């Protein structure tokens, strides 16, 4: 055996044997019981552009200000446009109607903003100045709490068909059970393409349980209504408590 090859094999043996006894102190290692991830806060604004009233505009203005202050690293704001018979909205989506129906059974109305799912809900907006502090305070509280989920998302698109692979890992020392993973497709709309408008919601995947340090891979797929997408198609992935009904959002990620 050549000396150089022998040295390489010895080094490889040292590395492999060392992995067995590796002290898991790396905070990014899912198997480290002290591992955490920054929480990405998800804001869903249920709106309709055909009401003839300024409330949705006030809400959007306030959310734009909040987005500027907090940045996009740990905050994703999406618009869910509702279909209403008496109001015309070109972005109106039945999927968004169904999601809103799950959130609210009574006292419904736009604008209605949900911050990290059922964590906080703010309905109405008499002005941007009055509603902005409510949004900002709730987002700040959610953002300061670390998440016990790590998540990776990959998408591939062929013509109007989209495949999404989501890998999740449970952190910490406790299992999580009875939760679901959701995938929404959005279009970057508006004159500056800074608005994320939901255009399709794929069927959620329910997860019975996941243990600390365990990883799961989930596959999603769907066909895009190509005629409806005039902007950039992005993917929003999130983990929420519960199955049939929306719960608190535990982690979120946006992929363009």
**99 inside domain:** yes
Phi and psi dihedrals of 12, rounded to 5?
A: -60, -40
Confidence of residue 227 (pLDDT cuts 50, 70, 90): low
Q: Decide which of 248 and 87 is more confident.
A: 248
Query: CA–CA separation, 109 vs 95, rounded Å?
Result: 17
**86 inside domain:** yes
User: ∠4-10-15 over CA atoms, to 5°?
Assistant: 125
Confidence of residue 21 (pLDDT cuts 50, 70, 90): very low
CATH number for position 100? 3.40.30.10
Q: pLDDT (tens digit, 9 = 90+) per residue, 181-208?
A: 999 999 888 655 678 999 999 999 999 9
Domain match, 130 and 158 both: no
- Domain of 63 in residue numbering reads as 41-144
Mean pLDDT across the stretch 37-56?
91
Query: CA–CA separation, 125 vs 119, rounded Å?
Result: 19
Q: pLDDT (tens digit, 9 = 90+) per residue, 130-146?
A: 999 999 999 999 999 99
Of the three residues 94, 115, 144, the one that is the final residue of a domain is 144
CATH number for position 215? 2.60.40.10
Query: CA–CA separation, 56 vs 48, rounded Å?
Result: 7
Integer distance in angstroms from the first to the last C-alpha of the chain?
Answer: 50
Could you give the number of structural domains in the chain? Answer: 2
- C-beta atoms surrounding 155 within 10 Å: 18
* 9 contacts: CB under 8 Å, gap ≥ 6: none
Domain match, 165 and 251 both: yes
Question: Over 60: is that where the pLDDT of 7 sits?
Answer: no
């Amino acid at each position: 055996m050549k000396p150089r090859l022998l040295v390489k094999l010895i080094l490889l043996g040292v590395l492999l044997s060392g992995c067995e006894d590796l002290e898991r102190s790396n905070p990014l290692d899912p198997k480290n019981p002290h591992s955490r991830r920054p929480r990405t806060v998800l804001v869903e604004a249920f709106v309709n552009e055909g009401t003839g009233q300024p409330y949705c505009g006030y809400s959007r203005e306030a959310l734009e200000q909040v987005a500027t202050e907090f940045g996009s690293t740990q905050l994703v704001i999406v618009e869910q446009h509702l279909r209403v018979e008496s109001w015309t909205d070109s972005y109106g989506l039945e999927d968004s109607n169904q999601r809103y129906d799950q959130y609210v059974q009574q006292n419904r109305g736009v604008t209605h903003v949900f911050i990290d799912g059922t964590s906080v809900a703010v309905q109405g907006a008499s002005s941007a100045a009055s509603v902005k502090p409510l949004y900002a305070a709730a987002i700040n509280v959610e953002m300061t709490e670390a998440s016990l989920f790590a998540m990776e998302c990959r998408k591939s698109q062929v013509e109007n068909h989209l495949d999404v692979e989501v890998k999740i890992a449970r952190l910490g020392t406790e299992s999580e059970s009875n939760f679901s993973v959701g995938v929404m497709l959005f279009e970057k709309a508006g004159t500056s393409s800074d608005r994320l408008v939901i255009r399709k919601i794929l069927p959620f995947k329910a997860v019975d349980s996941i243990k600390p340090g365990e990883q799961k891979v989930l596959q999603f797929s769907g066909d895009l209504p190509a005629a409806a997408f005039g902007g950039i198609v992005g993917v929003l992935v999130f983990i929420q408590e519960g199955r049939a009904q929306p719960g608190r959002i535990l982690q979120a990620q946006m992929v363009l």
